[in-house]
Amino acid sequence: MKKQPDIKTKDQSWFYSKKVKDHFFSPKKFLKDGEKFKADGVGTVGSPACGDMMKFWIKIDKKENKIKDCRWRTFGCASAIASTSALAEMITEDGGMKIEKALKIKPQDIINRLNGLPAIKVHCSILGDQALRAAIEDYNSHKR
C-alpha cells in the first residue's frame, strides 16, 4: 500500500485556507481531557458512526444574557474541527455574544470567518451551527 504524504511536506499543498489550518492545528476553546467546565447548556449533533459529531458546552452570563465562555469537542475532519473552533472564537470574543445574536449565526458566517471551505465540506459548518443551537436550547429548557 502506498504511503500517503504528510500534509506538512513541501510536495503537497494544503487544501484549505490559512485560517482553517490555524484553527485545525491550534483549536480555540477545545475541551481538553481532564478539564473541568461547568456548562449551562450542552448540545450534541451528528453521529460518529456515520460521520462528524460535535458537542458544544456553553456558559451564560445570566445578567447580560450572553455566552461568556464555551468548550467543544469534535469527531471529524479538519473542516469540522476548524469550523467548531472558529464558531467558539466568534461567540466568546469581546466578552461574549448575546444569545439572540448567536442564534442568528449562519453556516455562511462560519465559512466566511474561515476564509472559505471547499463546497464538499460546507456541511461541517452546518453541524457547528446546529450544535450551538442545541446548547442554547438546552440552556433555555433548564433556566428558571
The set of residues, in sequence order, having a beta carbon less than 8 Å from that of 11 and lying 6+ positions away, is: 5
State the cell numbers at 128: 457547528
Residue 50 annotated in active site: yes
Can you give the pLDDT at residue 120? 84
Instruction: Name the catalytic one among 45, 99, 105, 124.
Output: 124
Please, are residues 129 and 102 in contact by the beta-carbon 8 Å criterion? Answer: no
CATH second-level architecture of 33-142?
Answer: Alpha-Beta Complex (3.90)
Can you give the pLDDT at residue 112? 95
| DSSP secondary structure letter of residue 10 | T
Can you give the pLDDT at residue 76? 86
State the cell numbers at 82: 476548524
Residue 77 annotated in active site: no
Domain boundaries, the chain: 33-142
Instruction: Name the catalytic one among 2, 33, 35, 50.
Output: 50
Q: Please give the chain's pLDDT, 144 residues, in tens.
A: 443 334 443 444 557 899 999 999 999 999 999 999 999 999 999 877 767 889 999 999 999 999 999 999 998 888 899 999 999 999 999 999 999 999 999 999 999 999 998 888 888 778 888 999 999 999 999 875
Of 23, 16, 15, 31, the closest CA to residue 81 belongs to: 23
Of 29, 15, 144, the closest CA to residue 96 belongs to: 29
Can you give the pLDDT at residue 139? 97
